[in-house]
Amino acid sequence: MFGDLSGMMQKLKETQQKVEETKKRLDTVLIDETSNDGKLKVTVTANSAIKSIAMDNSLLADADELEDYLILTLNKALEKAKKINENELANVAKSGMPNIPGLNF
C-alpha cells in the first residue's frame, strides 16, 4: 500500500539526522540588529540565542529608555532569527519526506 516501508523509515531517519545537523549549523548563523539611531546593537543566532549586546554609554543614564531599546532591537533580531530557522528546517524536512501517495507537501 505504501511501497517500501523500510525505505521510507530509512529516509525519515536520514531526514531527522539532517534536521539535527541543521539545528547545530544554525547555532553558527549570526544575525545583527541595530537600533534606528545606532545606539544599540545586538547579535543573536538563528536559534535565538543572544550572543552580544553593545550599547552607547548614553543609554545607561535612563533605565526606561534602555529597556525600550533592548525590547525593540532584540525583538527585531529574534523575529529575523525565527524566520531563518523556520525556513531552513522546513526545507530540510520537505526534502526528506517520503513520497506517500495522496500527501502533497
Residue in this structure with the C-alpha cell 525519515, named with its chain if needed: 12
This prediction's pTM? 0.77
> What is the tens place of the pLDDT at every residue in 11-32?
888 888 888 999 999 999 999 9
Q: For residues 44 and 51, what is the distance between their CA atoms, to the nearest angstrom?
A: 5
Q: How many CB atoms within 10 Å of residue 51?
A: 13
CATH homologous superfamily of 1-96: Nucleoid-associated protein YbaB-like domain (3.30.1310.10)
Q: What is the pLDDT of residues 76-91, one digit of tens each?
A: 999 999 999 999 988 8
3-state secondary structure (DSSP) of residue 4: coil
